[in-house]
Amino acid sequence: MTFVCGESSLSFIGFRMTDNSVSAIPPPPGTENPPLPPPPPDSTPPNQQHSSWPPYYYNSYYNNQYAQYYQYYMMNGYNPHYGAYQAQLANKKEEGDKIQPPLPPGPPLPSTPPSNPRPPLLNTPKQFGNIRFQLNGKRLLNANAMFQGNSPNSGAAKKKRKRNRNNQNNHFNQQINYNVPPLPPPELNIPKPAPPPETMPPEPPLPPLPDTGKATLPPLINQESQDAKPSQNGFSNPTDDWPESLKITSIVAMPSARLRSIKTNPVSLIKIGARNHYRISIVKDSLLLVKLKLYRVSWHNFKNNSKKGLSPGLGARSRSRSPIGKRSQGQDPGALKGIVLQVTVQLPVTENFKPLMKGGKKGKGKLADRLGPTKKLSGKALKKQKARRRKPIFTPPSARIWKKTTNFYNREPPDLIIVKLTLFNDDTTVDFDWSDCHIVGTCQDLEKSFLRLRKAPDPCDIRPVEVLKLSLENVKVRWMEKQDYFYACDQLKSIRQDLTVQGIRNEFTIQVYETHARIALEKGDHEEFNQCQTQLKMLYIEIGGPNRNEFIAYRILYYVFTKNTLDIMTIMKSLSKEEKSDTCISFALKIRSAWGSGNFHKFFMLYRVAPLMAGYLIDWFIDRERKDYLKCIIKSYRQNVTVTFLMQELAYGTAEECLEFLEKFSLSFADGERTLVDCKSSMAVLPNI
Amino acid sequence: MTFMTLAHYLQIIDRSWRAQDGSKIASFISLRHEHAKYQNYHVESPEGLVERFLISPIDDLVVLHLKCLYYIAVGDFLEAYRQQSTLVQNFSKILQLQKEENWSLPIMYTICSDLRLVAQQAEKQKIGPNENPGEILEKAAECLMGCFRVCAADNRSAEEDTKRIGMLALVNQLFKVYFRINKLHLCKPLIRAIESSPFKECFSLSQQVTYRYFVGRKAMYDSNYKAADEYLTYAFENCHKSSRKNKRLILIYLVPVKMLLGYIPSKKVLEKYDVVQFWDLVQAVCQGNLKRFDELMDMHETFFIKCGIYLIVDKLKIIAYRNLFRKVYLILNTHQIPVEALQSALEYLGQDVDLDETQCIVANLIYEGKIKGYISHQHRKVVVSKQNPFPALTTLS
């Protein structure tokens, strides 16, 4: 794969993925090329950086963080994860040498608008060579490559550069295997953000990638989804793992002037779900992706220029489609099973595609003419588009203007990137159904505020799992430092949302919900807690998890809180003997029993020994029970009861706290020091309690 | 083996439709009717044939019905459910258009209970952990609600042909769904609709029995035992004597409710309806034998939980406490009972309690009026009233 970066006067960057040339840097076709940027690393880069990573990331930091966090992390199944993490790490280290590095970041691009003539956009896919990949349902082998999915190696304008800093620091994994070309100096001084969390169970050791001397493209895979369901397959191995028959012919990205560098990403088709749905997306290997928007997907009859290995009789008909994820007419998605596709991603390089600045009127108008359909198509336009679909090869490139989202963090409007994706196949009869494809996010923001979705989500607003893991880590750290519930809740909700729209349901999802449930528990946010525990209930059924019993116990207590005896019964119905003997669950059942039979004494005794975070949950209704018990005591005891007795019975730590509670009810005291409550004269206020 | 030819069947439906014979169509469109079993009715696409015999709108319904039969025959209850659900939806539209007539209500009763039954089957059949349990039943309930709204909104028709008379049957179907999926809060508006209906007393007795059975159960879960007693007693007394199964179901809820209110069932009735599980429990409670009580709770736990009465039966322990303390009082024959005496009685019966907990139990009984008296914490004594210290439970409000 070749990586070309324009000089100061260039705003165009071409990528080349060829079968045989990796380190060669041919100029993008059609350009009078300026001097090349620093050469990309060799195919087998030195690995010495690996050891230089501070243990901080792997051990102490991670551990400490949890040690300070909740007690339960230490008690409950966290450590196994950690162990698994380390095991995985070891694997990674072993494999380190063999893994092909992602492309290094290019030198910064100047932010001046392009003046050079650009290579022609259309009809040039061949110039860019091929990337191959395979679509036959094989599981992706290279987990490490997945891990590299976040390469920081590209940037755009200032803002992006800023983000880039974070990413580069975050994604140390990607950098450990190759020499990083020098970054712009200021970026080096940025403090490191939270390390990427790794709490997934260990993956089986992965076979090393074939060392082919070609640059490896980080595959686009959602690691999570792979782990979660065997039926989800990613096809993105960029190297020789891909059969001849399926290649990405080329990827051409045209960033605006403000893009500093670009890294290519393989385009992948991911099979999702059981129904042979595929989603298409571009690997989020670079920051470019943040801005990258697949606009149009064209399916072409590939018969004419088909390559060896294309199997006839399978396939999708040539179609152009926009934007990704939008649906077309129904057809049989199953027909794609096992077919070979060829993907071309193109960037327009014609004069007409000037970088768009902030959606300026001029650019918009001009583009709109040639851009083709956006989401809202008039009937006419639709027809036109349909007609265009029949055209065999290379529908006109389209572009989509980056819409500025109402984002809390105020992202900059994006640079215009136009990508054309062409899937080749040898059959023109089948279309396919994107309708229930989940999107794959491309957003790299660590923090994102929650915003209720009112329309179909835009991939550029959605963060992929790798980023979400960092985000979760970030939230945890912030939570420990500041205990700012508003912030934590907001962030966790947006993480949850991103997971939902991407259809990610796995251990990480559980982790997110557990984290939120616990924080909500601690802060008494009933609503969020209930949402989380409802989701967790289903996730545990689907996936299971080490903390399942703990959360079943919370759920029992939550139903005691809501006095929902029916649901308590449902839980009890479902509990097995082993589950009933679990510390947490048996505690919750005892609380339930004491509460149900009005045995307040026992209830408050149990409250004092609540395991894990159960105490927090009981806190939600402890005052309700205290009032009931107080009423009961006042009505049934005569003469006096001591405040000390009440303090013990109501599970208060000190007499002062107890008095504070009692004061609210204007009880009568038998003595001036207020150590004795006069029950008989307090009867008058009984209705007020 | 055939029942009658499909053509014949369609002719009968056609004739009945023209004659507005609701109950005949109802039986012929029922999934539980005899014809459902026969293979010649399992047609995947019966449209062509049906169209030749039937006029709109009944043709639609029959097509869907036959398709539903087909999918049931091939074992695809999910698809069968979809057909039946469309059938009910289409029917509710037809029903809405039939102004001033209610002859088709029997059809509605039949297809609605069929819908629920198919939904239950589909619920069992659906696989995959992604699916929400109860989702299909919930959708079925929505479908039933559609019919319910049509019926409830029909307030212009004369009394003899108002569709509002069909409300109770739908409410009962909805109750069955809601109780199955634990959504009792959804019952409230239905109960209100029935209670405020001018036809409250006109509904058929069988529907009323079903209705009170569910409302009584709901009252029981809401800890409103008096109301529960009232409803369940009505249901039990009016339930047809040949419906032993239903009477038994009612009794399962009626017994604990009655016991909480201080009424003890006779052994005879428990034996008659095969709920002898209660008899030992009744004895344990009456004797205040807490040890036995705990044993029985353990032994019959599954049964009680399955019936959804575990938590109610659990409350009987309070009655057992009361009876035990009464015994201690009678033995000591004093109005000042030492807490220690009560505690040792409890400990003797396998209860692991300390003095404070004993006091707490007594305090609770005093608070609920089951013991008249007070506790003197300083002297660790329970001082009971000289007159009727343990009033009969039935006299408590």
What is the reported pLDDT for A565?
A: 84
Residue of A209, A93, A59, A219 whose CA lies nearest to A145: A219
Write out pLDDT tens, residues A320-334: 333 333 333 333 333
Q: How confident is the model at residue A672 (pLDDT cuts 50, 70, 90)?
A: confident
B129, A541: Cβ pair inside 8 Å? Answer: yes
Cα(B65)–Cα(B61) distance, rounded to whole angstroms?
Answer: 6
What is the reported pLDDT for A88?
A: 53
Contact by Cβ (8 Å): A142, A286: no
Domain's final residue, options B203, B223, B241 = B203
Q: Are residues B43 and B176 in the same domain?
A: yes
| Residue with more model confidence, A288 or A456 | A456
B357, A596: Cβ pair inside 8 Å? Answer: no
Q: Is residue B225 part of a domain?
A: no
Q: Does A570 touch chain B (CB under 8 A)?
A: yes
CA distance B372 to chain A (A): 9
Q: Is residue B17 part of a domain?
A: yes
Q: Are residues B179 and B296 in the same domain?
A: no
Kindly list the residues from chain A whose CB atom is less than 8 angstroms away from the CB atom of residue B314. Answer: 593, 596-597
Q: In this prediction, what percent of chain A has a pLDDT beyond 70? A: 36
In this structure, what token pair is assigned to residue A162?
């800023």
CB-nearest to B377 from A505, A542, A637 is A637
Q: Is residue B321 part of a domain?
A: no
A569, B308: Cβ pair inside 8 Å? Answer: yes
When mean pLDDT is compared across A378-392, A555-569, B362-376, the lowest value belongs to: A378-392
For A93, what's the count of Cα atoms within 13 Å in the CB-facing half-sphere? 13
Q: Is residue B261 part of a domain?
A: no
Domain's final residue, options B253, B286, B314 = B314
Contact by Cβ (8 Å): A327, A232: no
Interface-testing mutation among B181, B303, B311, B353, with chain A (most A C-beta atoms within 10 A): B311
| Overall domain count for chain B | 3
B356, A570: Cβ pair inside 8 Å? Answer: no
Q: Are residues B49 and B80 in the same domain?
A: yes
Range picked from A58-72, A438-452, B256-270 for highest mean pLDDT: B256-270
Q: Evaluate if residue A196 carries a pLDDT over 70.
A: no
| Residue with more model confidence, A683 or A365 | A683
A568, B311: Cβ pair inside 8 Å? Answer: yes
Cα(A174)–Cα(A167) distance, rounded to whole angstroms?
Answer: 10
CA distance B347 to chain A (A): 15
Backbone phi, psi, residue A154, to 5°: -145, 165
Buried b / exposed e along B52-74 (16+ C-beta atoms within 10 A): ebbeeebbbbbbbbbbbbbbbbe
What is the reported pLDDT for B397?
A: 65
Q: Is residue B37 part of a domain?
A: yes
Q: Are residues B105 and B51 in the same domain?
A: yes
Contact by Cβ (8 Å): B316, B259: yes
For B165, what's the count of Cα atoms within 13 Å in the CB-facing half-sphere? 18
User: Residue B373's domain spans which residues?
Assistant: 329-396
Per-residue DSSP letter, B389 = S
What is the reported pLDDT for A81?
A: 47
Q: In degrees, to the nearest 5, what angle opens at C-alpha B104 toward C-alphas B102 and B105?
A: 75
Cα(A619)–Cα(B65) distance, rounded to whole angstroms?
Answer: 55
Chain B positions touching chain A (beta carbons under 8 Å) = 129-130, 132, 182, 184, 221, 305-306, 308, 310-311, 314-315, 317-318, 356-357, 359-364, 366-367, 374-378, 383
Per-residue DSSP letter, A68 = H
What is the Cα B102 distance to its own chain's centre?
27
Residue in A with minimal Cα distance to B353: A602
Residue in A with minimal Cα distance to B312: A596
Contact by Cβ (8 Å): A511, A227: no
CA distance A33 to chain B (A): 54
C-alpha dist (Å) from residue A284 to A440, A445, A524, B202: 9, 12, 38, 68
Cα(A456)–Cα(A438) distance, rounded to whole angstroms?
Answer: 11
Residue in B with minimal Cα distance to A649: B356
CB pairs under 8 A between A and B: 80
Q: In degrees, to the nearest 5, what angle opens at C-alpha B224 toward C-alphas B220 and B226?
A: 100
Q: Are residues B309 and B352 in the same domain?
A: no
Q: Evaluate if residue A238 carries a pLDDT over 60.
A: no
Q: Evaluate if residue A588 carries a pLDDT over 80.
A: yes
Residue of B316, B139, B297 whose CA lies nearest to A589: B297
Per-residue DSSP letter, A313 = T
Kindly list the residues from chain B whose CB atom is less than 8 angstroms away from the CB atom of residue A505. Answer: 130
Q: Is residue B236 part of a domain?
A: no
Q: How confident is the model at residue A203 (pLDDT cuts 50, 70, 90)?
A: very low
Contact by Cβ (8 Å): A297, A321: yes
CB-nearest to B378 from A567, A636, A639 is A639
Alpha helices in chain B (DSSP H): 6-18, 22-28, 47-53, 58-73, 77-97, 105-125, 135-152, 167-180, 187-195, 205-221, 225-238, 244-260, 267-272, 277-287, 290-299, 301-307, 310-332, 339-348, 355-367
| Residue with more model confidence, A477 or A386 | A477
Q: Is residue B356 part of a domain?
A: yes
Judging by beta carbons within 10 Å of its beta carbon (0-12, 13-18, 19+), is residue B165 exposed, middle or buried?
buried
A635, B366: Cβ pair inside 8 Å? Answer: yes
A637, B367: Cβ pair inside 8 Å? Answer: no
CATH number at residue B338: 1.10.10.10
Q: How confident is the model at residue A438 (pLDDT cuts 50, 70, 90)?
A: low
Kindly list the residues from chain A whose CB atom is less than 8 angstroms away from the CB atom of residue B367. Answer: 631-632, 635-636
Helix axes A614-636 and A507-523, enclosed angle (nearest 10): 30
Kindly list the residues from chain A whose CB atom is less than 8 angstroms away from the CB atom of residue B318. Answer: 597-598
B360, A541: Cβ pair inside 8 Å? Answer: no
Q: Does A599 touch chain B (CB under 8 A)?
A: yes
Write out pLDDT tens, residues B364-381: 999 988 999 999 888 888
Residues, chain B: 397
Q: Is residue B242 part of a domain?
A: no
| Residue with more model confidence, B78 or A442 | B78
Domain's final residue, options B148, B173, B203 = B203
| Residue with more model confidence, A523 or A92 | A523
| Residue with more model confidence, B171 or A213 | B171
Q: How confident is the model at residue A38 (pLDDT cuts 50, 70, 90)?
A: very low
CATH number at residue B12: 1.25.40
Element (H, E) at A94: helix A78-95
A176 contacts: CB under 8 Å, gap ≥ 6: A47, A49, A50, A53, A96
B363, A596: Cβ pair inside 8 Å? Answer: no
Q: Are residues B304 and B176 in the same domain?
A: no
Q: Are residues B305 and B359 in the same domain?
A: no
Q: Are residues B297 and B166 in the same domain?
A: no
Q: Does A544 touch chain B (CB under 8 A)?
A: no
What is the reported pLDDT for B394?
A: 85
Kindly list the residues from chain A whose CB atom is less than 8 angstroms away from the CB atom of residue B132. Answer: 538
Kindly list the residues from chain B whose CB atom is less than 8 angstroms away from the CB atom of residue A602. Answer: 357, 360
Q: Are residues B174 and B93 in the same domain?
A: yes
Q: Are residues B199 and B298 in the same domain?
A: no
Backbone phi, psi, residue A684, to 5°: -65, -35
What is the reported pLDDT for A205?
A: 44
C-alpha dist (Å) from residue B14 to A126, B9, B51, B56, B158: 68, 9, 11, 10, 27
Q: Evaluate if residue A452 carries a pLDDT over 80.
A: no
Residue of A522, A526, A547, A520 whose CA lies nearest to A536: A547
Cα(B135)–Cα(B143) distance, rounded to whole angstroms?
Answer: 13
Tell me: ipTM over 0.85.
no
A636, B376: Cβ pair inside 8 Å? Answer: no
B221, A565: Cβ pair inside 8 Å? Answer: yes
Q: Are residues B294 and B366 in the same domain?
A: no
Q: Are residues B32 and B98 in the same domain?
A: yes
Kindly list the residues from chain A whose CB atom is less than 8 angstroms away from the CB atom of residue B315. Answer: 596-597
Interface-testing mutation among B360, B365, B371, with chain A (most A C-beta atoms within 10 A): B360
Q: Mean pLDDT, chain A, as a whole number?
A: 56
Q: Does A663 touch chain B (CB under 8 A)?
A: no
Q: What is the pLDDT along chain B (397 residues), one digit of tens a residue?
A: 567 888 888 888 888 888 888 888 888 888 888 888 888 888 888 888 888 888 888 888 899 999 999 999 888 888 899 999 999 999 998 888 888 888 888 999 999 999 999 998 888 887 655 566 778 888 899 999 999 998 888 878 887 788 888 889 999 999 999 998 888 888 999 999 998 888 888 888 999 999 999 999 999 988 889 999 999 999 999 999 898 899 999 999 999 999 999 898 998 999 999 888 889 999 999 999 999 999 999 899 888 888 888 888 988 999 999 999 999 999 988 888 999 999 999 999 988 888 889 989 999 999 988 999 999 888 888 998 888 888 888 887 6
Cα(A467)–Cα(A224) distance, rounded to whole angstroms?
Answer: 12
Sheet holding A233-235, edge to edge: A233-235, A267-272, A277-282
